[in-house]
Amino acid sequence: MTAHTPIKALDIAAIRSEFPILQREINGKPLVYLDNAASAQKPEAVIEALSNVYRHSYANVHRGLHTLANEATEAFEGARQKIADFLGAQNAAQIVLTRGATEAINLVANSFGQTLESGDEIILSQMEHHSNIIPWQLLAQRTGAVIRWCPVTQTGELDYDALMGLMSARTRLVAMVHMSNVLGTTNDASRIVKMARDNGAAVLLDGSQSAVHMPVNVTELGCDFFVFTGHKLYGPSGAGALYASGDWLDRLPPWQGGGEMIADVHEDHSTWADVPHKFEAGTPAIADVIGLGAAIDWVRRFDRIAVMEHERALLDRATQGVSAMPGIQLIGTAQDKGAILSFAMEGAHAHDLAQLLDKYGVAVRAGHHCAQPLMRRFGVDSTVRASFAIYNTADEVDVFLEALHKAKSFLI
């Protein structure tokens, strides 16, 4: 089996055996890890890649001439190429390596943002993660730019008619999540891009969830910027990427200054390195980026559609079971959604539910999920979120449902 022949028939038991942490017990119960939208667990291949860097070939990248520096640089730049291939970018120079999606969005806000003037408009949606809200609010405070908000329907879908109505000659950027971390809703990126193009605006897509749960080809999507983070993609924390189309990276000014991003430094001026290094100041997260490359290699072993179907079956099973329990409000019922299930229970706080589920070894996320505007849209202050990954099973869904039923009986 080659890297170019992805596996369509998923052997979930074999996949699970590659994740050491899944052998753990929590409170005397087998771990059922359903907090994947926050961060996924790591396969042995990623753990070994990190270990091998530090054990055998660690050195700072690029400028060294010795063997270790050359080995580290080759692996580091190899990971950049893997990311480009994974996202369907035309070349690796379109990939800026960052600490994650948050830093990537801040990079665009602080670089592209230097071209904005007072009164220019940025469109966001009510379903955005705080990482795709705060950088734009800070930018608006500095520049006088205006943020306009696209509403979300009762089923948790983007209101495309409202989005069209928000477009104007002053719209400079549409920054939206590709797949919601709370609702699981997959937004129609091509439709968003067309609307923006018709109005002369750029598009940034937050792919933190979509890059994990569905095939992504940024060239086909036509977006200007795409960000994702490695730790949700079975990779290390502290590594992610920004994709920029066309000549955006050449046109935009750098954000952070320091080593690595320069060509020449003089007392009265400096010039910048070629892209993408112009945007990569300082020593990067070398081992973590190499580990992200290993995670992408691991993910690409499996057919993406087969993984989607597996995760969707788990979501459908969980949704059916939760829907049958009285007093539970599902948050996000869009038809086209990823494997994320959020809900609120009448008379019970999400934190209490999560703590009780933990007693049965079930790990879920509880809170506002860094999406407080969305919580207010649905009239809740928090939800419980169960999110599924390639290594989860139907039996684990049943354990979750049984534990939820017991927790509900205890609290209400």
Cα 234 to Cα 62, 129, 161, 213, 292, distances in angstroms: 26, 20, 36, 12, 8
Beta pairing, strands 95-98 & 171-177? unpaired
DSSP string, 339-384: SEEEEEETTB-HHHHHHHHHHTTEE-EEE-TT-HHHHHHTT-S-EE
- Check 188, 370, 380, 398 and give the catalytic one: 370
Amino acid at 338: G
In the three-class reduction of DSSP (H, G, I as helix; E, B as strand; rest coil), residue 337 is classed as strand
Sign of the CA dihedral with 379 first, then 383, 389, and 395 last: negative
Q: 131 with 101: CB under 8 angstroms?
A: yes
Q: Is 370 a catalytic residue?
A: yes
Helix, strand, coil in percent for the chain, rounding step 5:
45, 20, 40
Check if the beta carbon of residue 1 is closer than 8 Å to that of residue 7: yes
Helix (H, G, I), strand (E, B) or coil at 262: strand
Helix (H, G, I), strand (E, B) or coil at 147: strand
Please report the sign of the dihedral spanned by the C-alpha atoms of residue 274, residue 278, residue 282, residue 287. negative
- The pairing of strands 171-177 and 328-331 is unpaired
Q: Compute CA 272 distance to the chain's CA centroid, rounded to the nearest angstrom.
A: 29
Q: What φ, ψ does residue 172 adopt, rounded to 5°?
A: -105, -30
Distance from C-alpha of 271 to C-alpha of 274, rounded to nearest angstrom: 10
Q: Which residues pair with 158 in a beta bridge?
A: 152
What angle in degrees, to the nearest 10, is found between the helix axes of 304-323 and 394-411? 30
What is the distance between the terminal CA atoms of the chain, rounded to a whole angstrom? Answer: 52
Which residues are designated catalytic?
370
